[in-house]
Chain A
Amino acid sequence: MRKLLVPIDGSEASERALQTAIDLCKGREKDYLITLLHVSVIEYHYAGIGIAAVRANIDESIVREGDQMLRTASNQFENSGIEVDTVHLQGYAAQEICQYAEENRYDMIVIGNRGLGTFGKFILGSVSHKVVHHASCPVLIVK
């Protein structure tokens, strides 16, 4: 069994990464597992918001959005014959991605060159950049 980890954040590049991962499995669908991973950025992102109740609401809606994103993405696998699962983590994206890949022995990380947060002029976003640096497995960068 070969395991591909595809971090998704709702960006177009992550959409293309997912498509590339599916293409990689063609003709040998039974041998592959694709895990869709979304990392919710929680708490430290909103340092300005001090009221606990407001933060709790934001956290909830962020987690819900992430779950929704993962469901939508995994729906693309219907009829593909590829085994897919989804994982939703909280924390710093790059760190969670690399840790999860390492602990669960993924063969490859397939990731978009830049996600939602990156400015247009950067070819490699900060998350992809860190993942290339810290991952112990091969990393496929999709544009």
Chain B
Amino acid sequence: MYKLLVPIDGSEVAERAMQTAVSLCQKREGETHITLLHVASVEYYPGMAVASVNINLDETVSKEGEELLQESLNKLKNAGIHVDYVLLKGYAAKEICEYANENGYDMIVIGNRGRGAFGELILGSVSHKVLHHAKCPVLIVK
């Protein structure tokens, strides 16, 4: 089984990364597996000290992530590829690499920059860190 991990964050380039992953699986749908991974950045808001506010934010962020994953999964359903999704919480690059390493993925397919990166950067901070810390090959999609 050829396992591809595709981290998504709702950006356009993440969308293209997903399409690239699908095209990599074409003609061998039976032996490939795509996992869509979203990392919800949780407790990222040091300015907000009130615990209850934090909890609400956490919930919203997780719910949004869940929706994003479900929507993306639906788009891939008809491609005939095994697809599942995973929602994690934490620092994006760290979670992506850990998940890929622990679960023996063959490749990470990731957009060159996500929602957070400035326009002038070719490689966003998350993609950059993933490239550095992943043990498997990393496909950078623009």
Question: A residues bordering B, Cβ < 8 Å?
Answer: 20, 23-24, 26-28, 31, 108, 113, 123-124, 132-133, 135-143
Q: Given that A31-B27, A123-B131 are contacting pairs, would A140 and B139 also be in contact in the complex, using a CB cutoff of 8 Å?
A: yes
Give bound CA distance, A137 to B107, whole Å: 17
Interface string of B84-98 (1 = CB under 8 A from A): 000000000000000
Residues of B within 8 A of A133 (CB): 122-123
Residues of B within 8 A of A27 (CB): 27-28, 31
Q: Can you identify 18 A-B contacts, CB atoms within 8 angstroms? A: A20-B137, A24-B24, A26-B28, A27-B28, A28-B26, A28-B28, A113-B131, A123-B131, A124-B131, A124-B132, A133-B123, A136-B142, A138-B20, A140-B107, A140-B140, A141-B131, A141-B137, A143-B137
In the assembled complex, B138 has its CB within 8 A of some CB on chain A: yes
In the assembled complex, B141 has its CB within 8 A of some CB on chain A: yes
Residues of A within 8 A of B132 (CB): 123-124
Question: B residues bordering A, Cβ < 8 Å?
Answer: 2, 20, 24, 26-28, 31, 106-107, 112, 122-123, 131-132, 134-142
Residues of B within 8 A of A20 (CB): 137
Q: Tell me whether A143 and B135 are in contact (CB under 8 A).
A: yes
Residues of A within 8 A of B28 (CB): 26-28
Give bound CA distance, A83 to B37, whole Å: 34
CB of B1, distance to nearest CB on chain A (Å): 12
Q: Tell me whether B139 and A139 are in contact (CB under 8 A).
A: yes
Give bound CA distance, A135 to B140, whole Å: 10
Give bound CA distance, A124 to B123, whole Å: 12
